[in-house]
Amino acid sequence: MRIAIASDHAAVALKDVLVPWLEAAGHAVEDLGTHGTASVDYPDYGEAVAGALADGRVERGIALCGSGIGIAIAANRNPACRCAQVSEPLSARLARTHNDANAIAIGARLVGEEMAKACITAFLDADFEGGRHQHRVDKLSRKEFA
């Protein structure tokens, strides 16, 4: 799978663990930064993940910041992105199966490396169920939300 990943300075250490782990699992990973611990603005990195999804370069996105909240809000400003903040595998799986999320956000200050990996695995292994969920997801893409 083609995956975009980005983080702010608070989550760069987690990103640096996740990128090789994802690549070792056979995924093509586009690392959108940041690449150091100097303070940066999380909206720029949420926007980058959403942009990679919107232009079709990737199929899934992973957005990381200190809490996972700000970067999720930023990513969701792009109507092509449905980013769910997750902190455990069940919410990551449900984000895919019920909400057709194409990105997840994780807070590096709240979630450890192994839990982050478990969330990502659950997210990437799940498929959207469609059916009763489809019309709800369709509403998320209406112009009124853009």
pLDDT tens string 76-112: 999 999 999 999 999 999 999 999 999 999 999 999 9
Among candidate residues 103, 101, 5, the one with its CA nearest the CA of residue 45: 5
Predicted confidence (pLDDT) at residue 145 exceeds the cutoff of 70:
no
Active-site hit among 27, 65, 83, 119: 65
What does the pLDDT read at residue 132?
82
Whether residue 135 lies in the annotated active site: no
String of DSSP letters for 51-67: HHHHTTS-SEEEEEESS
pTM for the full model? Answer: 0.95
pLDDT tens figures, 12-34: 999 999 999 999 999 999 999 99
Whether residue 9 lies in the annotated active site: no
What does the pLDDT read at residue 131?
76
String of DSSP letters for the chain: -EEEEEE-GGGHHHHHHHHHHHHHTT-EEEE----SSS---HHHHHHHHHHHHHTTS-SEEEEEESSSHHHHHHHTTSTT--EEE-SSHHHHHHHHHTT--SEEEEETTTS-HHHHHHHHHHHHH-----GGGHHHHHHHTSGGG-
Active-site hit among 9, 81, 83, 98: 98
